[in-house]
Amino acid sequence: MSERRIKWSYMDHWRSNGPAGPVDQWHSHRTMSAFLKQIKAVGFDAIDTFDFRLWQMYGDYGGPAGYQQMVQDHGLERIVNTFHAADYDLRDYAPHVPETHERILEDFRVTMGHWSVIQLDNIIVMPATLYYDMEPVTADKLKITAELWNQVGEITAGYGVRLTCHHEFFCGIQSEPDIDTFYAYTDPRYVSLFVDTAQHCIASVDPVALYRRHAHRVSGFHFKDTRDVATGDDHRHRPDSEIMAPTTGKWFYEMGTPHGLVDFEAMMTAVRDNEYRGWISVEHDKANKDGGDFSEATAVARWYAANVLEEIYR
Amino acid sequence: MAWSKWSYMDHWVTETPQGPQPPSFNRAHMDRYVKQLSALGFRGFDTFFFYLPMLAGMYGSVPAFERFLQDNGFDKITGIFSAYPYATRYTAPHVRETHDRIFADCEATVRAVDGLSVENFIVMPSTTYFQVEPVTEEKIKVMADLWNRVGRMTLEHGMKTTCHFEFWGAIRTREQLDLFFSHTDPELVFFFCDTAQHTIAGVDPVQMFRDYRDRCTGFHFKDTHTVDEHEAYRTPPDPELMAPEVTRWFYEMGTDGGLVDFPALMREIVASGYDGWLTVEHDKAELGGGSYAEATCVAKWYIDNVLAEVSR
Amino acid sequence: MTGIRWGYAINQWKPQFDDFVRREQHERALKTISIAGFEGVELTAGTGRWEPLGNPQQLAANFGSFAGFREFLAGCGVPAVSSFHYDPQQRSMEHLTGPLSPLAEADVPAVVARAVWFAEALTQLGGSVLVVRAAPSAGDDEPLDDAALHRLAACWQTVGRATLEHGVRTALHVDFLSALRSGDALDRLLERTEPDLVGLALDTGELTVAGIDPLSIVERHGDRIRYVRFKDALAVDEAEEYRQPHAEYAVRQRGGTREIPRWFGEPGIDGGLVDFPAVTRALLAARYSGWIVFASDPSPHPAASALLGGYVMQRELRPIANGR
Amino acid sequence: MKDTLRWAYALNQWNFRLDVFVRHSDQLRALKTLSACGFDHVELPAGTGRWDNLARPEVILLNHGDHAGFLDFLRRGSVRGVSSVYWDPGQPVEEEGWAFRSTANRHDHDAIVESAKPFVEFCAGVGAEQLVVRPVGSAWMSPPPDAHGLRTVGELWNRVGELAAAVGVGLALHYDCLGAVHTEAELVGLLEATDPALVGLALDTAEFTIGGIDPVAFYQRHAGRVTHVHLKDTRYADTGQEYRMPGAETTMLRGGAGRRIERWFFELGTEGGLVDVKAFVAALRSRAYPGWVVVESDHGGNPAELAMLNSWYLQYELSVAKS
């Protein structure tokens, strides 16, 4: 068998039904084990996780290395990426507000220290605040933001980890021109692009074209689907767009869903054409909404990867 | 005085350690179910014929189950639903040769509740449309003959045979409904108004009630968001759960997008002097992440907060 | 006529941080509470944009004003908010603060300010009690010696005085992880506080899991009770695992070494340990008037819990309260 | 699953209620789930009516036209075929006019043989190797069978077995923990009353264990008769008489047998499982068992989750290569 050029990682959103209601996999060692077994059973090679789980890693597994050991004990290779979900706030943590930069830089110095015991590929960030906290999105603000991430990227590069940006449809940098401007301002050595197929699609940006244009900057993917494009003020809905937009109660679906808007075959073809090698992360955020189910969504998504996408490129 | 004769049609699903199951799963779940309905203030209980043996098994007998209901604030079992949704060579209301068998089944069901004061014997008068079509006057007459015969029998047991028309049944348009009622004896065969089913079939339930007031013995108050515009009703193998365009037909009262004008119907009912039971039903409430308990709360909330104003 | 008002705690609808965010979900839950026979809802303090009912700022962001929120409640058939349940240890994104401790003198001004923030909201939402987590978890903090109790009493006295200025009473809530659970700490704390300023929130489920008979509390401190939460308990922490560090995760969520699947349930749940008719009678004997709020804490099926609780309230407890 | 054993998965765990698992889209999701878990053959459940459209042959054909159409449907979910079909002739079904029939009653035999025909034809048509049947009714509804009774039942299954063999389909009698044939002696008696060339045994590890029969020891003694396997686990065994409780399907398997047992059947690798799965599978391997091993977990919990956990167990505890 020829060497695989693509491996599949699972971004660890997860819920299962416990005796007292829905729980996540961090609920107990038992639920974590059941989660990892299921991920492994359908053929994922590794997982991605969130920074805010660090405390549970320390509390329950002795830290990131201990947790990665738990992952490996279930036959998975390792933790590939982490998502740094920050609480953006104009007062103290906002990439387009220079006064807050020192705090953000310090946050990354501390965070990377925690992760230094294992080897990650990427630390993923949403590069801007919520849209309504950044608008109007000006070239100046984009430039200030880019400068911040250049510095953060330098810090993470010191740990051998790439800083990569994930553009939520509701964040300040989500339109095609703003994304292009942002990458023009950032240093390719320090700032990469992480293509989330659904988020771009919701923001009316063609993820395939975006990827083809910036392929040399791309350090990873979230493959997930959506059935809806944001309309009107969906991307700037107060207080929240992700769960509370009036038009849409559930934005995200696993790939392979009927009526999905992402053209994954075209995406995979582009991945092949660019000779991308490495990890693709599968994500389906909030799969349990509206009667959905994480186990099933994960199996169906992995089926799609095995039966449709790997036919194109593997 | 607000309307107090509300009953609940037994479609409930509850979470069990073995997955989502009907409350007949075991006695403990059945008890919990009755308590929940009791908390909402329902006074009547409608159920399916096939649950009667299970209820007898769990409570010792059907009358013992009814006593359990009464201990929880109910008046009684109000209706029994019986149906042959799917034509087989043994049972198909439009096939005269199967009538003896259907009649015998109905008699057995009715006997199982002898001694109680169940009021309605609710039937689907036909099977799926696609198994009957072409729907002719002759076939409607055959079905009418069956229910005349069953109706006479159930009256002898104190129950009225009353017809509940599915949107996917062979009697669904206003013309077919009128034809069916013209062939049935008003003394023997009655009308049961399901607000959602008629609406999906493009028939106005309020007008149906107005026109058949004298034969109406009950209602299923449930809602829908969709009128069948794709001939789902005649699409094999099954329109109810498998229609390509519509994944969920039925909703509880009080949802956004509901098509049934319940206040108008309620006004009509009050004005007419109707004094029977009004039944809440919500079939498949769990589709799309819903729950029966919650759907029942929202529907009863609607009754007490919206319909109560109308019927005052 | 009784002075008891029956409410329901909304926290059981939100098992995870990204659940129960949308308006239509709130509407359905509130209608469920209403139709199950309850006239008030207890809110739980929360932070951030996925907690639309969690604090005054989020209520304003979502409903425009308190009046707007009250209109929404009224539209769902719920006349009042009974209370907020506030835990100082919860961080606040709105204030950019981390955990505050009632034991730390330096934190007291912030705790007071936060309490007033909630109290002001309650006055406009029909509530009269602020329920506060009285002490941190036993395993995460110093033992409550005299000096610590003194600081604790001083904090709650100040809070109580401040909320009372808004007509809202402060009631101390003792949960089964609380440092106040051990020995006579609670008795001593109550001794050191003035009854007019600091009351007690009786939570039947928490006390029972803590191995404390709620009846004994009613007997000893009936005159201090300002708020009651009725939830049932399914197991008792006999091994005192609450003294472990991080007991919030290890014991409350995961069930400790015995892996108790569920500590709490709605009143009347199969296997429940609390004698609610007896507690109700004892409260009446102690001349309690005010809210009795039902809760199940997490529930695998929130609407069913509300209905089963409603059943017990309507058929067993309310008749007792009404003297029948 | 690539292994010396042939692995399949039972669909019954998805079909846990009358009105669920009806839409083709839901079924495709289950098939894809199984495929992602490494399974490419399925066992079809029993059922009745238009909503059990993976159960009754005539309803399957109404949904998919013909046998090839049904196989095409399975293949859309990357499932290649049907290992087996389950059928209980004692379960009244709409298609048979809700007739209540008993295999112990000789007068019902002609009707049961007749009603077996669509199943046999369907198995042959879709390439299912085994028709798996419930050989007798529930113990609580009938007295324990004596030698004469076992001979009567045996005659029936020989007739059905002959019918099936004629088109190359095997017939496997599935022992379950509520059946009137309950003890090991009774089960052996039933097997002896049937022709080994025509009738095999479907050994269900959990059902055996609950019923008080050690599946490993039994297999070692009777390997030649075992033509089909259901692999699942249980955490409980009958105390001895629970299977005779009136309405045992409800009172024992759902009502907890008065012991508050919430669920009897579990996925492989469950904590406290009573089945020695590894020893059992080792025994199958050592005797080069040729039939299907169908993994199932019956009802309980989330079907996709259980399938994934079973798959993990096969790969990491039983060393079955996924592909």
- DSSP characters over A151-193: HHHHHHHTTT-EEEEE--TTBSS-SHHHHHHHHHHS-TTTEEE
Q: How far is CA B242 from the centre of its chain?
A: 20
Of the residues A50, A91, A240, the best mutation for testing chain C's interface (the one with the most C CB atoms within 10 Å of its CB) is A240
- Is residue A129 over pLDDT 50? yes
Contacts of residue C93 in chain A, CB cutoff 8 Å? 87, 89
Residue D198 has pLDDT above 60, yes or no: yes
Taking an 8 Å Cβ-Cβ cutoff, which residues of chain B contact chain A? 286-290
- Strand, helix or coil at D161? helix
Domain annotation covers residue A301: yes
- Specify the pLDDT at position B42: 95
Q: Can you tell me the mean pLDDT for C42-47?
A: 97
Chain B environment of C311 (Cβ under 8 Å) = 35-36, 38-39
For residue C1, what pLDDT is reported? 47
- pLDDT of amino acid B288: 80
**Cross-chain Cβ contact A289/B289 below 8 Å:** yes
CATH of domain B6-311: 3.20.20.150
Q: What percent of chain B has pLDDT over 70?
A: 99
Say which residues have a Cβ less than 8 Å from residue D296's Cβ, sequence separation at least 6.
D9, D10, D12, D13, D43, D230, D231, D232, D265
Nearest C-alpha of chain C: how many angstroms from A53?
Answer: 13
- Tell me the mean pLDDT in the region B20-24: 89
Residues 6+ apart with CB under 8 A from C246: A59, C139, C140
Q: Which chains touch A (3 or more CB pairs under 8 A)?
A: B, C, D
C290: left (phi over 0), alpha (psi -120 to 50) or beta: left
Give the closest of B28, B36, B305 to C307, CB-based: B36
Give residue A91's pLDDT. Answer: 96
Q: Give CA–CA dist D97/D119, Å, rounded.
A: 17
Tell me how far apart the alpha carbons of residues D182 and D179 are, in angstroms, rounded to a whole number: 6
Whether A24 has its CB under 8 Å from any CB of chain C: the answer is: yes
Contact call for D36 and A38, based on CB within 8 A: no
The span from the CA of C127 to the CA of B238, in Å, is 53
**Which of B12, B32, B297 is the best residue to mutate to test the C interface, defined by the most C CB atoms within 10 Å of its own CB?**
B297
Q: Which of C11, C84, C5 shows the shortest CA–CA distance to C38?
A: C5
Helix (H) or strand (E) holding D293: strand D292-295
Stretch among A144-158, A197-211, A293-307 having the lowest mean pLDDT: A293-307
Residue C253 lies in a domain: no
CA distance, residue A22 to nearest chain D CA (Å): 12
A140-145 mean pLDDT: 98
Low-confidence winner among A231-240, B21-30, B190-199, D113-122 (lowest mean pLDDT): B21-30
Above 90 in pLDDT, residue A59?
no
> What whole-number percentage of chain D has pLDDT above 90?
83
Q: How confident is the model at residue A2 (pLDDT cuts 50, 70, 90)?
A: low
Q: Tokens 């060579």 sit at which residue?
A: B89
3-state SS, D21-37, equals CCCHHHHHHHHHHHHHC
User: How many beta carbons lie within 10 A of that of residue A158, not counting itself?
Assistant: 11
The predicted structure's pLDDT at residue D297:
80
Average confidence score pLDDT of chain A: 95
Average per-residue pLDDT for chain D: 94
Q: What is the mean pLDDT of residues B36-55?
A: 94
Task: Give residue-wise pLDDT tens across range D283-320.
Answer: 999 999 999 999 998 776 788 989 998 999 999 899 99
pLDDT for B1 equals 56
Q: Which residue of D has its CA nearest to A73?
A: D316
The domain spans of chain B are 6-311
Residue pLDDT, tens place only, C187-204: 999 999 999 999 999 999
Buried b (16+ CB within 10 A) or exposed e, B64-97: ebbebbeebbbbbbbbbbbbbbbbbebbbbbbee
Q: What does the DSSP assignment read for D196-228?
A: TTT-EEEEEHHHHHHHT--HHHHHHHHGGGEEE
Tell me which chain C residues have a C-beta less than 8 angstroms from the C-beta of A27. Answer: 253-254
Domains of chain D: 6-44+71-316 (3.20.20.150)
Contacts of A171 (CB under 8 A, 6+ apart): A126, A127, A128, A129, A130, A131, A134
Task: State the complex-level ipTM.
Answer: 0.84
What is the model's pLDDT at position C83? 97
Model confidence at D129: pLDDT above 70: yes
Whether C254 maps to a domain, the answer reads no
Rounded CA separation C125/C119 (Å): 10
Contact B241 D23 (CB under 8 A): yes
Predicted local distance difference test score (pLDDT) of residue D262: 85
pLDDT of D128 > 90? The answer is: yes
> Is the CB of residue B305 less than 8 Å from the CB of residue A306?
no
Whether residue D254 lies within 8 A of chain B, CB to CB, comes out as: yes
pTM of the predicted structure, to 2 decimals: 0.88
How sure is the predictor about D250, in pLDDT bands with cuts at 50, 70 and 90? confident
Could you tell me the CATH number of the domain that includes residue C229?
3.20.20.150
Stretch B21-33: mean pLDDT:
90
**Range of the structural domain that residue A285 is part of:** 11-25+40-49+80-312
Angle, helix B52-59 to helix B62-71, in steps of 10 degrees: 70
Contact status of D24 with chain A (Cβ, < 8 Å): no
How many domains, in total, are found in chain C? 1
- Give, in order, the Cα–Cα distances in Å from A292 to each of A287, A297, B66, D289: 6, 8, 37, 39
Question: Which chains would you list as touching C if contact means 3+ CB atom pairs under 8 Å?
Answer: A, B
Tens of pLDDT, residues C239-282 = 999 999 889 988 998 899 998 989 999 998 989 999 999 999 99
Residue of B32, B72, B291 lying closest to C303 (CB–CB): B291
Closest alpha carbon within chain B to A289:
B289
- Looking at residue C214, its pLDDT comes to 98
Largest CA-CA distance found in chain B, in angstroms, rounded: 50
What token pair was written down for C272? 């429940």
Instruction: Name the band, by pLDDT with cuts 50, 70 and 90, for residue D240.
Output: confident
Residue C128 near residue C143 (C-beta atoms within 8 A): no
- Distance from A292 to chain B by nearest Cα, in Å? 7
Q: Give the mutation candidate from B15, B26, B281, B283 for the D interface (greatest D CB count, under 10 A).
A: B26
Decide if pLDDT at B309 tops 90.
no
pLDDT digits (tens, 9 = 90+) for A212-268: 999 999 999 999 999 999 999 999 999 999 999 989 989 999 998 889 999 999 999
Per-residue pLDDT tens digits for A82-124: 999 999 999 999 999 999 999 999 999 999 999 999 999 999 9
Residue in D104, D196, D108 with CA at minimum distance from that of residue D150: D104
- What average pLDDT score do residues C199-210 get? 98
Distance from CA of D48 to the nearest CA of B (A): 10
Any idea what the Cα angle at residue D71 is, between residues D69 and D72, rounded to 5°? 60
Q: Which domain holds residue C194?
A: 4-234+262-321
A5 domain residue, yes or no: no
Is the pLDDT reported for residue B289 higher than 90? no
* CATH (domain of A243): 3.20.20.150
Find the residue in C nearest to B252 (Cα). C28
Interfacial residues of C (vs A; Cβ cutoff 8 Å): 12, 15-16, 18-19, 21-24, 48-50, 52, 58, 61-62, 93, 96, 246, 249, 253-254, 259, 261-262, 264, 297-300, 302
Answer whether B71 touches C (CB < 8 Å): no
Contacts of B296 in chain C (CB under 8 A): 303, 307
What is the number of structural domains in chain A? 1
Residue A233 neighbours by CB under 8 Å, 6+ apart? none
Percent of chain B with pLDDT over 90: 81
Q: From CA D240, how far away is CA D210, in angstroms rounded?
A: 9
The position carrying tokens 């944009």 is C49
